[in-house]
Amino acid sequence: MRLTIFGSGYVGLVQGACMAEMGNHVVCYDIDEDKIARLNAGEIPIYEPGLEAYVERNVEAGRLEFTTDVKKAVSHGLFQFIAVGTPPDEDGSADLKHVLAVAKAIGENMDEYRIVVDKSTVPVGTADKVKAEIDRVLAERGKSVEFDVVSNPEFLKEGAAISDFMKPDRIIVGTDNPRTTELLRSLYEPFNRSHDRLISMDIRSAELTKYAANAMLATKISFMNELANMAEKFGADIEHVRIGIGSDPRIGYHFIYPGAGYGGSCFPKDVQALAKSASESGYDAALLNAVEEVNHRQKRRLFEKLSDHYDGNLKGKTIALWGLSFKPNTDDMRAAPSRVLMESLWDAGATVRAYDPEAMEEAARIYPDQEGLTFCEKSYEALAGADALVIVTEWQEFRSPDFQTIKEMVADAVVVDGRNLFDPEMVEAFGLEYYAIGRGRGTNAPRPNFGRRKTDKA
Ligand SMILES: NC(=O)c1ccc[n+]([C@@H]2O[C@H](COP(=O)([O-])OP(=O)(O)OC[C@H]3O[C@@H](n4cnc5c(N)ncnc54)[C@H](O)[C@@H]3O)[C@@H](O)[C@H]2O)c1
């Protein structure tokens, strides 16, 4: 089949490569000329495991093309996928300007039947706006061309995007026309072989399903972070609590890890956008607002732990940071907790020595010539001259560090672990002062007289 994808970012590029891998002929269009030039030169502008090989193979086979020629893009595909960004507007609502710009471009260049498929995460009612925009432009051109608008939200996770796309848990298709459902069913057939994963529904429900999924996942994270903060006050260990509650199949072990708050391009903006849509419709989304508020506070926790350790005086301190991306296996730093931490440290007069396996280029782009920020080629290089170490992202290579070297290199022998990677007693056995998330002891919360662990002194 022939398809066009507008937007060659984390979603559009992965989708393009995976669709081409199945034998389709894909044209990826982006307004970012530099990005398209890099792609045409064989360079992958983002880090996503496995993506490079997919792109290379399919470009070579002539099934995957990149262009900035909008006419070519619209005339190529029966399916016109919209995979452009939907960043938050100033008031938290989703900014639809990119989505509507694509609708306009399709309307301006469309001469035969097209299925316009919205893959971007968009508020309920967006398909109607896309349709209205195309209708408006067609009317302006004095043309009457048939088209359908479909909602087909994307559920891939950065870091595992290829396997998520190739083996999706579900394929949501929202249409008001059974014929388009069948056409999308044929397009997705190769991804759907072991059992039927395609769930068809009306357009509005499909649009809401995407927000509902992200809001539920964000809620789980904020719930655990809230519990973790309580555990610190109570002298309990959230890691025991996590295992204790996860054993209930109604709760499960997935996605109940406490940490430094959720980031990335999806949860923060989607929770806010859904709450905003709710309030515009006259509904106060109290739970969603609380989820976001708890997350906001959680992103400050690592800084607070450091600040408490140094009695509020971080001026002149050098802090080593392991991990900049919002999660492992991506270079994405959108809304990353590391940003809140670094910016707070700079405000407090501290300097940062940072290491990340993939995100340093992105960090340098976000913070060009930033005073108080040094990038280090290796994780242990970041410890040179550091007073404390903070682990912000749980990359595999941080899971089993050499604590003896950390003890020798980090001047104040302080480790703040934003991902609860280690056994506190084991870390402390090396003479390190260890702060984690929600782990009763080893935190700077007041310690009650109950629930002490056996190594607790005094
Ligand atoms: N990143 C994820 O993990 C993920 C997962 C599921 C859904 N989504 C959703 O998918 C959408 C895209 O997200 P992303 O992370 O791929 O964004 P991204 O920022 O990585 O990529 C968006 C791309 O769209 C391009 N673009 C902007 N305006 C354009 C236009 N008029 N025509 C063509 N291209 C244009 C930009 O140049 C950019 O390359 C968002 O709505 C997001 O919420 C993202």
Give the Å distance between the CA of 99 and the centre of ligand 1: 9
Of all protein residues, the one whose alpha carbon is nearest to atom 4 of ligand 1 is: 11
* pLDDT at residue 442 tops 80: no
The ligand 1 atom at the shortest distance from the C-alpha of residue 269 is: 43
* pLDDT at residue 456 tops 60: no
| CA angle centred on 50, ends 47 and 56, rounded to 5° | 95
Of all protein residues, the one whose alpha carbon is nearest to atom 43 of ligand 1 is: 121
Give the Å distance between the CA of 7 and the centre of ligand 1: 6
Of all protein residues, the one whose alpha carbon is nearest to atom 11 of ligand 1 is: 120
Give the Å distance between the CA of 404 and the centre of ligand 1: 43
Share of the chain above pLDDT 90, in %: 94
For range 179-203, the mean pLDDT: 94
Angstrom CA distances, 125 to 94, 132, 282, 390, stand at 12, 11, 16, 43
The ligand 1 atom at the shortest distance from the C-alpha of residue 35 is: 39
For range 172-185, the mean pLDDT: 96
Task: List 200's β-bridge partners, or say none.
Answer: 173
Phi, psi of 115 (to 5 degrees): -105, 115
Distance CA 100, CA 270 (A): 18
Q: Please identify every residue annotated as catalytic.
A: 266
How is residue 429 written in tokens? Answer: 């056995």
Give the Å distance between the CA of 180 and the centre of ligand 1: 24
Q: What is the pLDDT of residues 282-325, one digit of tens each?
A: 999 999 999 999 999 999 999 999 999 999 999 999 999 999 99
Residue of 30, 99, 106, 126 to mutate, ligand 1, most atoms within 8 A of C-beta: 30
Share of the chain above pLDDT 70, in %: 96
Contact 191, 205 (CB under 8 A): no
Contact 19, 58 (CB under 8 A): no
Distance CA 288, CA 271 (A): 6
**Which residues have CB under 6 Å of ligand 1?**
6-12, 29-32, 35, 83-86, 98, 101-102, 120-121, 154, 156, 158, 265-266
* pLDDT at residue 443 tops 90: no
Phi, psi of 147 (to 5 degrees): -155, 160
Of all protein residues, the one whose alpha carbon is nearest to atom 41 of ligand 1 is: 120
Of all protein residues, the one whose alpha carbon is nearest to atom 21 of ligand 1 is: 9
For residue 310, what pLDDT is reported? 98
The ligand 1 atom at the shortest distance from the C-alpha of residue 270 is: 43
Q: What is the pLDDT of residues 128-137, one digit of tens each?
A: 999 999 999 9
Contact 379, 356 (CB under 8 A): no
Residue of 116, 217, 265 to mutate, ligand 1, most atoms within 8 A of C-beta: 265
CA 28 vs. chain centroid, Å, equals: 22
For range 228-242, the mean pLDDT: 96
Give the Å distance between the CA of 46 and the centre of ligand 1: 12
Torsion of CA 22, 24, 29, 34, to 10 degrees: 50
Of all protein residues, the one whose alpha carbon is nearest to atom 13 of ligand 1 is: 85
Give the Å distance between the CA of 328 and the centre of ligand 1: 20
The ligand 1 atom at the shortest distance from the C-alpha of residue 45 is: 39
Phi, psi of 433 (to 5 degrees): -90, 120
Give the Å distance between the CA of 121 and the centre of ligand 1: 9
Contact 199, 145 (CB under 8 A): no
Phi/psi-derived region of residue 255, left when phi > 0, alpha when psi is between -120 and 50, beta in every other case? left
Give the Å distance between the CA of 233 and the centre of ligand 1: 41
- Across 71-75, 191-195, 454-458, which has the greatest mean pLDDT? 71-75
Of all protein residues, the one whose alpha carbon is nearest to atom 19 of ligand 1 is: 85
For residue 449, what pLDDT is reported? 38
Q: What is the pLDDT of residues 8-60, one digit of tens each?
A: 999 999 999 999 999 999 999 999 999 999 999 999 999 999 999 999 999 99
Of all protein residues, the one whose alpha carbon is nearest to atom 33 of ligand 1 is: 30
Q: What is the pLDDT of residues 364-407, one digit of tens each?
A: 999 999 999 999 999 999 999 999 999 999 999 999 999 999 99
* pLDDT at residue 457 tops 50: no
Average pLDDT, the chain: 95
For residue 194, what pLDDT is reported? 84
User: Residue 440: which pLDDT band, with cuts at 50, 70 and 90?
Assistant: confident
Residue of 10, 29, 33 to mutate, ligand 1, most atoms within 8 A of C-beta: 10
User: Residue 441: which pLDDT band, with cuts at 50, 70 and 90?
Assistant: low
Amino acid at position 83, single letter: A
For residue 90, what pLDDT is reported? 87
* pLDDT at residue 450 tops 80: no
Q: What is the pLDDT of residues 349-374, one digit of tens each?
A: 999 999 999 999 999 999 999 999 99
